[in-house]
Amino acid sequence: MSMNKNKQVKIEAKIEVLRNELIETGELYGYLHPKTIKISQQLDNIINEYQLMKLHLTR
């Protein structure tokens, strides 16, 4: 597995973990709770990183 593919797989796994955490935290604390918002922001950041990586791989 190439270095880029390995990184892609790791980021995809992290996205899935954060999605699950976001859902669980949102259901437990509410979707406007600071814990939920923090996880949402982390998920946004990792998705942005993933999209940038994919963009650079396609060029």
Q: What is the DSSP letter of 33?
A: S
- pTM score, whole prediction: 0.88
| Domains of the chain, each with CATH number or no CATH | 3-57 (4.10.280)
The single-letter code of the amino acid at 52 is: L
Quick one: which H or E segment has residue 6?
A: helix 3-29
**pLDDT at residue 5, rounded to an integer:** 85
Rounded to whole angstroms, the Cα distance separating 9 from 15 reads 10
What tens digit of pLDDT does each residue of 14-57 get? 999 999 999 999 999 999 999 999 999 999 999 999 999 988 87
- At CA 54, angle to CA 50 and CA 16, rounded to 5? 35
Cβ neighbours of residue 2 closer than 8 Å, sequence gap 6 or more: none
